[in-house]
Structure 1
Amino acid sequence: MEHYNDPYQQEEKHRPTLNPFISVWLQPKQTARYMIDVKSTGYAILILSIGYFGSLLSGVMEIDFPVWGIVLLCILLAPIAGLIGTAFSALITWLFGKLFKGTGNFSELFKALSLTAIPYIVLIPFYLIWLYVAPESLLTVDYMGPTPWIFWPATLATIVVSIWSFVIAVAVVAEAHQISNWKAFFTVFIPSVIFIFLFIIIAFIIVIGIIGVGMM
């Protein structure tokens, strides 16, 4: 009996197995393709749940909860924030990518962009330590006390992680849309600038409104 060799099965057989949590740091495009072709949406949500836990921890402030309550709240909110945030990012990059003749669909972009959450996992130990040793300095906006030792390494880690997450975003959008890195850069950058500009305008209008009400 003649055996039929399915090209897709042959490709799957020879595809290298990647660990996205490790490979995305230096092989973002290959990891994005692996996520798109092999991994499920559920796996992408798992990545988001862990990564957004670190992201939420780095942004907590003015929360009148005990430390354990803050950690639990971040754990519970991470999957929801990750799902909503990445779905919105996937929608925007899908739409703007079409301007550059991108071919990726929403599902592919969602799975690829979930990889941008992985660098934020690095922040988890930094901010857990910060919450433990000096919670008031992290949670209070107008904190005037001594700067804790964890401030500088946590801040440096946050800057590096944010930059690298953007680099990964450009690479995975390029892979998902099958466009050049420069086109992917503008696909990510243009909507970011637009939303920052809109945020500034809205904030300015709100401030002017508050000042106007206060002068009445």
Structure 2
Amino acid sequence: MTQAPAKPVRQGQAHKRAAILAAARELFSQEGVERTSMDAIAARAEVSKRTVYDYYGDKRRLLLGVIEDAGEAALATLRELIEQHLSEEDLDRSAAGLERALTTFATALGGSQLASSNYAAAVKLIAENESQLPELDDHPLDRAHADALAERLARFASIGLLDVEDPRLAADHFHALTTLRVLNEPLRRRADLEHVRRVMADGARVFMRAYGTEAPA
């Protein structure tokens, strides 16, 4: 679907923008996008309706803003956990050491990003409204998520711990075995943090069986 040219929007004040996004996220999740009015969002955010329009232009772009905001937060979490758990300097350079590091990383990711209510809300909103958001096709945030992990997997391949020809594809496989598997679970299972961590850890171990250069001890 071809979108009409967007009118310019204001950068605005950070605290007002955050309030608008939080209000929209809550109402979109609770009531649905179609049933949520811009008046209701403005009232929840304690700003004028004109401010909402000035900052986001229309409800569709506000919905996109909510999803992008969650994506940026998720990317920051991903990068932080990569640095914390997949540091080459701290790694025990063996197959067993890399499996332990990837498993710890995966369980930490499951306990933070996937447990985030903002992330869960964004996933739900994407599923319900994807046809209205052509901007999500090959979105820069998706590429940034894949690139963040792909860069680290390429480093592990360079020191002989992984057999990886295409780091981006390997990162996609890791994502499919961990995060996507959790997101395909029923909501009640995704709410069980211990279950989420087990799924993420299992996915990391399967990834090592596929890409590891030797069997972990």
TM-score greater than 0.5 by the shorter chain: no
Which structure features the higher share of helix residues? 1
**TM-score, normalising length from structure 1?**
0.33
Using CA pairs under 8 Å that are at least 6 residues apart, name the structure with larger relative contact order, 1 or 2: 1
* TM-score, normalised by the number of residues in structure 2: 0.33
Larger radius of gyration: 1
